[in-house]
Structure 1
Amino acid sequence: MSRHTTTRLALPIAAALVMAGCATTSHQPLYGWDGYQPQVYEYLKSSGNADAEQQVAKLEEAQQKIEQRGQALPPGYRAHMGMLYAKAGQDEKSVAALTAEKTTFPESASFMDFLLRTLTGKASQ
């Protein structure tokens, strides 16, 4: 095989490999974000004066859908739920949500411990 023939074959093969490498693959997102971002936006837009119980209901509904699809809740979801539970006067659910956030995302432990201490008035160990 001559050098010219090899080059003619190598260029289309290389181009095909490059194009295949750039092809998008269909993949499932790591987290289910249903309703989370709009609810956080609504909460912040209202300067924290949004109806906590209404937001909790929407987020609990979204959580069920996310779990039914087998997806994980995103970072901060449980912490936001814990904050809303506390605002609605549901301290036990708040502690459970903040503890679940801490367990699921250990990097949040310091902040979750702070929130738990603030909520319960004692250190969470």
Structure 2
Amino acid sequence: MKIIANTGLLGAVSAVFLLTACSGQPKPLYNYEDYSDSYYGAKKNMTEESALVLQKSIEKAIENASESSSGRVAPGMYANLGYIYLKGGKSKEAIANFEKEKSIYPESAHFMDRMIKKVQVAQGAENDKK
């Protein structure tokens, strides 16, 4: 009788494990969208068009960040977007993204502070020329 009871219990536990394993895919830690492909394309052949594709990819990942288990984008995405804005002459947007990167990922603060300072120094030099 004990053997039958133990077999039934083992079967029930096995069924629970099987059902929970098949219940669905876990959410990824970060939402990348098509960032990897567009980043590779931009680095391989950096043109205005590839930079725009990368920018749109990062913006889309930021919009859909809530779909990831962490609720945020991967480290470096705001910094990368800020760099794209900086290259496009949009200093204010660049600084805003560097600040956002720093607030979400405090370990990047030293690097982001240096980037912000470089942008501000460049803005000051540009204003001095006028």
Q: 1:87 to 1:62 in 2, by over 3 A?
A: closer
In 2, the alpha carbon distance for the partners of 1:54 and 1:18 equals 46
Structure 1 residue ranges without an equivalent (≥5):
none
Q: Which position in structure 1 is the counterpart of 2:42?
A: 43
Q: Identity of counterpart residues, as a percentage? A: 24
Q: 1:51 to 1:109 in 2, by over 3 A?
A: same
Structure 2 residue ranges without an equivalent (≥5):
123-130
Q: 1:53 to 1:91 in 2, by over 3 A?
A: farther
Q: Which position in structure 2 is the counterpart of 1:106?
A: 106
In the alignment of these two chains, the number of paired residues is: 118
Q: Which position in structure 1 is the counterpart of 2:120?
A: 120
Q: 1:9 to 1:114 in 2, by over 3 A?
A: same
Q: 1:34 to 1:119 in 2, by over 3 A?
A: same
Q: Deviations over 1:39-97 (max 9, x none)?
A: 22123223xxx124652465247625752785543322211111111222222221121
In 1, the alpha carbon distance for the partners of 2:23 and 2:110 equals 38
- Counterparts of 1:1-125 in structure 2 under 5 Å? 2-46=1-45, 50-52=46-48, 55-56=51-52, 59-60=55-56, 63=59, 67=63, 70-71=66-67, 72-121=72-121
Q: 1:4 to 1:54 in 2, by over 3 A?
A: closer
| Contact 1:52–1:85 (Cα < 8 Å) also in 2 | no
In 1, the alpha carbon distance for the partners of 2:116 and 2:62 equals 26
Structure with greater helix percent:
2
Secondary structure of the 1:121 match is helix
Give the partner amino acid of 1:116. I
| Contact 1:63–1:73 (Cα < 8 Å) also in 2 | no
